[in-house]
Amino acid sequence: MIDVGEGQNKNYELLFRSIYMDSPIGIEIYDSNGKLLDLNKSCMELFGILKKDDIRGFDLLKDPNIPNEQITRLKRGETVKFESYFDFEIVRTHKLYDTSKTGNIYLGVTITPLFLGDDNSISNYLVQIQDISDRKKNDQKLRLFNFKTENQISREIYDSEKKLKNLIEAIPIGITITSFDDRIFDCNSQAVKMLGYDSKEEFLEISALDLYSNPNDRIKFLELHRGGLVKDFDVLAKRKDGST
């Protein structure tokens, strides 16, 4: 055991009080019933409180700005952390306390039940509060930027696909776009007409294998394609009615 002595204890007390009073984080101390005992300067500035007496006795457990589920957890002795949209109009409407502030802010809140007695019951609540409005606004700007960027990219992709489709359709020869598993993704009207199908929709339902008179030609084409661009590869195509 280390005996720090009465003088050292006094120094620690002054240190902790200085940290409490000068902390840039808003700090509030409540009793076991949730009634406000004290708050530091940062907290007074954050909420626009001019005199401590104007808010002393404020009931933490009845604060309409704290979600009900968090109140329930606090009463169970759990530490809670949450972000809150704080509306000063609610403060005025409910006449919670006099404030010089208007509008709204976003808060990052941590509330810790303290157990300083010997009976394992809640003796106090320690509340730490930070104004996170700037971070929230930046997050919103970032989300908006990402949304606009994604929309712009989507539009550019759509425009590129549309130009490609128009180009394919304008070419006076039959064109099909297929996958390695023999699905047909797209084609132009010339391919539909040349191979005797009634519509593009019907054409897209068939397998790419159905376009080859000799299925082995499809296998050979795919093997060549895996090695790169295929040029001057002639095959005998099969029409819908089986003719070539």
Residues 6+ apart with CB under 8 A from 221: 230, 233, 235
**Do 127 and 197 fall within a single domain?**
no
As a whole number, the mean pLDDT across the chain is 88
Which whole-number Å values give the CA distances from 38 to 58, 125, 174, 219, in the listed order?
Answer: 10, 11, 82, 81
pLDDT band at 5 (very low <50, low <70, confident <90, very high): low
pLDDT band at 1 (very low <50, low <70, confident <90, very high): very low
Percent of the chain with pLDDT over 70: 96
Q: Residue 117: inside a domain, yes or no?
A: yes
Question: pLDDT for 52-92, tens place per residue?
Answer: 888 888 899 998 878 899 999 999 999 999 998 888 988 88
| 108 DSSP β-pair partners | 83, 130
Q: Residue 140: inside a domain, yes or no?
A: no
Count how many domains the chain has: 2
Q: What confidence score (pLDDT) does residue 195 get? A: 94
| 107 DSSP β-pair partners | 84, 131
**Do 79 and 166 fall within a single domain?**
no
Q: Which domain holds residue 84?
A: 5-135
CATH number at residue 68: 3.30.450.20
